[in-house]
Structure 1
């Protein structure tokens, strides 16, 4: 068993019994083995552990789900703490864009093409149904600009993996103001210079999000960045 899972099981701050933690980890390992995931195991656990230790009020959202590996894991968490979950994705992959990301913080070339990370809606839902808890999920199909407008529920947490800076902008401006006290927003795109530039901008936070720039853990140094709502 990977070290990150052992740490999760041994984390006494998590509001689950040892048997519940072991059961959840075993299900996570099954997901890792059967669904192509773009996250590292410890990245999703960072988000999940925040929700289990801070215990914020509200629902949970995921933006950008690919084949549903992360969705399945988060749905198991949502079921365990009795929260609704919303999954937002175009199910058409990335949209047309003209963003030039050049190199990420690790010095690797970055190119995103239209349609990349596309996964069929039915296949993604099927994966979550088989390996997670599909019954507590609401899947919202479409481009963010068309689907975010009707969503206004208080948030315990938001997990964002959307690649393009304009998509990150849409997600943060929508979800951050909805976060409850102690709620967590994690973004899996923190290795991209355009995303770093956006989230490091006081102007973005003050004039588009409507608040002072919060502390952003890992900004500029980590792929997964984390914000806890004060």
Structure 2
């Protein structure tokens, strides 16, 4: 097991991946921290875990995540597949409790350039909401597309801006969790480049998955995680 101390930006890496603590919103919390560890490694797959607890303040406090290291900075049009498997459990407690588990991918108009688009695929969600340009009268984000059948699940798509990037967020239409994902993430990109505004000439700069923790306490245990870009 390779443990990471709870420094704000600490990391540990293998030949294939980097595990980041990424406590980017830590200073906005009244108290708390996140930590993590790599627990196993076999071929293209790793096991990892993170513990987090946050109290008070606004916004996401940490995004402990695994980043793929290989075959990045390819144009989307040149990528044939992004095969991924992710099996996890997440135990949580506390009230209020806000957290999601998601893939988070970024693209740029130049190789290794400044990120312009963020693509999120939410596999689990407790109390969080996606970024959106439009909201209902009740204040809920409204999707730009609904009932999308991709990789064995049905998704709704939301679109908005975080101030730095245009953000596409896929959430399951029925609100269910996907704790055992196995499929081709490239299917989501193919949809976005054919049906939405994402340009296939964009370069994939980052491919990662992790848990966005805002408030409460939790332990995410990923028994298997892999992202292979080809």
With normalisation by structure 2, the TM-score equals 0.30
Higher strand content, 1 or 2: 2
With normalisation by structure 1, the TM-score equals 0.30
